[in-house]
Amino acid sequence: MILNLAVTPGEVTTSLIILVMVFVFVRALRSKGRKQLSPPGPWSFPIIGNLLQLGEHPYLTLMEMRKKYGDVFLLKLGMVPVLVVNGMEMVKQVLLKDGEHFAGRPNMYTFSFLAEGKSLSFSVNYGESWKLHKKIASKALRTLSNAEAKSSTCSCLLEEHVTEEVSELVTVFVELSSKNGGFDPRNAVTCAVANVVCALCFGKRYDHSDEEFLKIVKTNDDLLKASSAANPADFIPCLRYLPLQIINAPREFYRALNGFIALHVQDHLATYDKDHIRDITDALINVCHNKYAATKTDTLNDSEIISTVNDLFGAGFETVSTCLYWSFLYLIHYPEIQAKIQGEIDGNIGLKPPRFEDRKILPYTEAFISEVFRHASFLPFTIPHCTTADTTLNGYFIPRKTCTFINMYQVNHDETIWDNPSLFRPDRFLNENRELNKSLVEKVLIFGMGIRKCLGEDVARNEIFIFITAVLQQLKLKKCPRAKLDLTPTYGLVMRPKPYQLQAELRSSGSASA
């Protein structure tokens, strides 16, 4: 028996049409299904959302929520849906692989105060103009902060500024200790770091008792206190119109800081000399006036230069001073670690003033700094991100303009990455040859990663290294007798340790056992 398998052209056409229609219909159903698959998350109250559920330590609350909802979940802060991202792989997906899709900033009330909304770090607008802005700022920062810049015509190098300020800090520590016995190092550390930033940005340092200087230091401190928790006006818009201190205080502090910086930048614009670059502000002006002079659209105007200096000033100020404040606490809490660092310093550089290049020969000191970053995680979240387009993450549909929180604290305490993450153990960053494990150092999140990564990471790491090494080279730090030390942070925009006191004494002949 022979089967007749012949078909007419019309039947073929009809079959193809049916197959195409079925294919399109299935794709449409799948696409619709994906768009309806939103991230899981907790039930929220009307208007206030999940704000009351976050508690005193939101980063820990979100870690607990992760156990139930996974690495990607959605909650509501006030009336704003917020995507929370945990886990190294998901963080890499957001900040690196899909970086362009998550490169925006949410349109927050607080952000609008920063340099009148033109801040590079907080700018809502992400695009070619922002990329150019970042490129110019990066070039200006490298001009005066790299050790290689010694051969240039620039006279204000980060290394020189830090060396000068740490010498002053050692003197202050000894004086305070001899006068008071124990003392809280916070004010002295803040003034020293602020002077480094002022010298780097404006070519000027201040005496620690200078009224103008102390005013701006206090303004920064007040600003952080006012921003210590999520500003309700960022998430409940109707509150912006109420005369409440918590709502309006940040605006006044930002204006004071912006005014201080604007005066210095305006003075630089008036006295700029292309043959004598004094500091980062001059370097910014130089880059704009020279390289991009021929194309006015490819440069920064004066107000954008002011906002860039504002960004660099703020980033270099609080991050470094907070890290040092934590570092000195860990050093008196773990005296055996302090002794190991001093032994490494004595054996490798002796009494020679430390330099940036010495980071290569002091691996344990570097490991200690990385462990401070990881364990304290004093920047628990990145600055909030925002999606620039509809996208997907971990199989969930994420609409455009979704506010996104990256939980860096969780990554820094993830048991799948770190062995006993609650322990403070610098040795975890050293391999069997006692060399720094750079691949593990890169897993520590404190400066972010990808497109919006902090511009000043190298500057901060170099500065912190010099401060810690130079202080421990000359001083032995001790906790006050019978004092109890608390490593629990105080939650805020930047998490500081609770106030503590220490004692400082000169080391005799560079001996770690002194």
Domain assignment of residue 7, yes or no: no
CA pair distance 49, 487, nearest whole angstrom: 31
Backbone angles phi, psi at 236, to 5 degrees: -125, 90
pTM score of the predicted model: 0.86
How many CA atoms are closer than 13 Å to the CA of 222, on its beta-carbon side? 18
- The pair of three-digit structure tokens given for residue 491, joined into one six-digit string: 């939650």
178 strand-pairing partners: none
Domain assignment of residue 344, yes or no: yes
Residue 8: its pLDDT value, please?
Answer: 52
CA pair distance 470, 216, nearest whole angstrom: 26
- The pair of three-digit structure tokens given for residue 453, joined into one six-digit string: 């990564």
Domain assignment of residue 3, yes or no: no
In the sheet with 385-386, reading across from the earlier edge strand, the strands are 72-77, 80-85, 403-406, 385-386
480 annotated ligand binder = no
CA pair distance 131, 52, nearest whole angstrom: 37
If you compute the radius of gyration of the chain from its CA atoms, what whole number of angstroms results?
A: 27
CB 281 within 8 A of CB 265: yes
Contacts of 513 (CB under 8 A, 6+ apart): 339
CA pair distance 203, 280, nearest whole angstrom: 8
CB 489 within 8 A of CB 497: yes
Q: Is 146 helix (H, G, I), strand (E, B) or coil?
A: coil
CA pair distance 36, 29, nearest whole angstrom: 11
Residue 119: its pLDDT value, please?
Answer: 60
CA pair distance 48, 230, nearest whole angstrom: 12
Which residue in 382, 440, 452 sits closest to 410, CA to CA?
Answer: 382
Which residue in 242, 205, 246, 250 sits closest to 224, CA to CA?
Answer: 250
Domain assignment of residue 5, yes or no: no
Domain count, the chain: 1
- The pair of three-digit structure tokens given for residue 495, joined into one six-digit string: 């998490």
Domain that includes residue 426, residue range:
12-506
CB 475 within 8 A of CB 213: no
CA pair distance 312, 305, nearest whole angstrom: 11
Chain-centroid distance of CA 7 in Å reads: 69
Which residue in 229, 189, 151, 214 sits closest to 329, CA to CA?
Answer: 189
Residue 510: its pLDDT value, please?
Answer: 47
- The pair of three-digit structure tokens given for residue 202, joined into one six-digit string: 């404006």
Which residue in 55, 56, 50, 52 sits closest to 69, CA to CA?
Answer: 50
CA pair distance 413, 399, nearest whole angstrom: 29
Domain assignment of residue 168, yes or no: yes
CATH code, domain with 397: 1.10.630.10
Give, for all 514 residues of the chain, the pLDDT tens digit: 333 434 454 554 554 455 545 544 545 445 444 446 999 999 999 989 998 899 889 999 999 999 999 999 999 998 899 999 999 999 999 999 999 999 998 887 776 665 455 566 666 667 777 787 788 778 777 766 664 444 443 443 788 889 999 999 999 999 999 998 899 999 999 999 999 988 888 888 888 788 878 877 777 776 666 655 556 677 777 776 676 666 666 677 777 778 888 888 899 989 999 888 888 888 888 877 765 444 555 667 777 788 788 777 776 788 899 999 999 999 999 999 999 999 999 999 999 999 999 999 999 999 999 999 999 999 999 989 999 999 999 999 999 999 999 999 999 999 999 999 999 999 999 999 999 999 999 999 999 999 888 888 888 999 999 999 999 999 999 999 988 999 999 887 789 999 999 999 999 754 544 3
CA pair distance 491, 229, nearest whole angstrom: 8
- The pair of three-digit structure tokens given for residue 286, joined into one six-digit string: 């130089």
How many CA atoms are closer than 13 Å to the CA of 469, on its beta-carbon side? 34
Q: Where are the alpha helices (DSSP H) in 151-244?
A: 158-180, 186-202, 211-226, 232-235
Contacts of 65 (CB under 8 A, 6+ apart): 41, 42, 73, 75, 84
Domain assignment of residue 2, yes or no: no
